[in-house]
Amino acid sequence: MTVKDRIALVTGGGSGIGRQVSLSLASRGAKVAVVDINHDNALKTAMEIIEAGGDAIGLQCDVSVKEECFKSVESIIERWGRLEILVTCAGILFDKSLRNLTEEAFDKVHKINLKGPLFFIQAAIEPMKKQQFGRIVNLASGAYLGNPGQTAYSTSKAGVVSLTRVAALELARFGITVNCVAPGMVETPMTAGMPPEAYENIAKAIPVGRIGKPEDISHMILSLVADEASYTTGQTVFIDGGLTVGASRS
């Protein structure tokens, strides 16, 4: 899994999966721009990397604002001259029944979860095309298959899967691969508010018998962004301890 000396940008790098992806990339020699709406957390992750002997910067950016996404990519090009790896982890979870979902809430979730990856891919196209090399991984979710009570979240993630497929087809000829991962339940601040009984019930339904950890997700992402992964594109990789396989058998 070669990522040494590659320049990476991770959105949502201040917390959870994005933080772990940033640390894992850096531990294998990539230089990482940690991007988050929460500047303090972005700086914290960048500082962890620097203290461990790596190279990183922490940038504040609201991924739902196109200009901010383009500006983040510009500052990386100014600093390092290239952008080779993009991982879009920034996202929000939102629970509301179909009946009670407001248009404003639906739009907010889509602006962050779907337009965020779209804007960053758009911003990355020129530098990656110039290099004739790029590795992009988006964070979808198993919820894209349809979770009751999560219309806004599920549809935003279905959009991410489709965005990934379209981008893979449009960008393949420039040496750019685009894939997404669809995690099941992962222990992060996003899911921390869940009652312990609900956690236990979910764990029981997962064939491997446990909730996922950020490392389970970053491991797969690292293999998708590695130099060696040039023949995998447009794919959605489920990382859910076999949950979706089990569900499709019943």
Per CB under 6 A, 86 contacts ligand NAD = no
**Catalytic residue numbers, as ranges:** 153
Residue 186 interacting with ligand NAD (CB under 6 A): yes
Could you tell me where the DSSP H helices lie in the chain? 16-27, 39-51, 66-80, 103-110, 116-131, 151-171, 196-205, 214-225, 243-249
Angle between helices 103-110 and 151-171 (to 10 degrees): 30
CA distance 142 to 244: 8
Residue 191 touching ligand NAD (CB under 6 A) = yes
Site for ligand NAD in 106-135 (CB under 6 A): 112
Q: Which is nearer to ligand NAD, 172 or 203 (CB)?
A: 203
Q: Is 64 in the site for ligand NAD (CB under 6 A)?
A: yes
At closest approach, how far in Å is the CB of 129 from ligand NAD? 25
Bridge partners (DSSP) listed for residue 35: 11, 59
Q: Which residue has the tokens 């952008």?
A: 83
Report the candidate in 84, 93, 72 with the shortest Cα–Cα distance to residue 137: 84
189 scored as a contact of ligand NAD (CB under 6 A): yes
Pick the piece of the chain touching ligand NAD (CB under 6 A) from 26-34, 89-97, 162-170, 195-203: 89-97
Segment interacting with ligand NAD (CB under 6 A) among 48-56, 167-175, 186-194, 223-231 = 186-194
Q: By rule CB under 6 A, what count of residues binds ligand NAD? A: 29
Q: Least distance (Å) from ligand NAD to the CB of residue 102?
A: 18
* Complex with ligand NAD: residue 139 or 167, whichever CB lies closer: 139
CB closer to ligand NAD out of 168 and 185: 185
Read off the tokens for 18.
């994005």
Q: How far is CA 107 from CA 64, 142, 203, in A?
A: 10, 20, 31
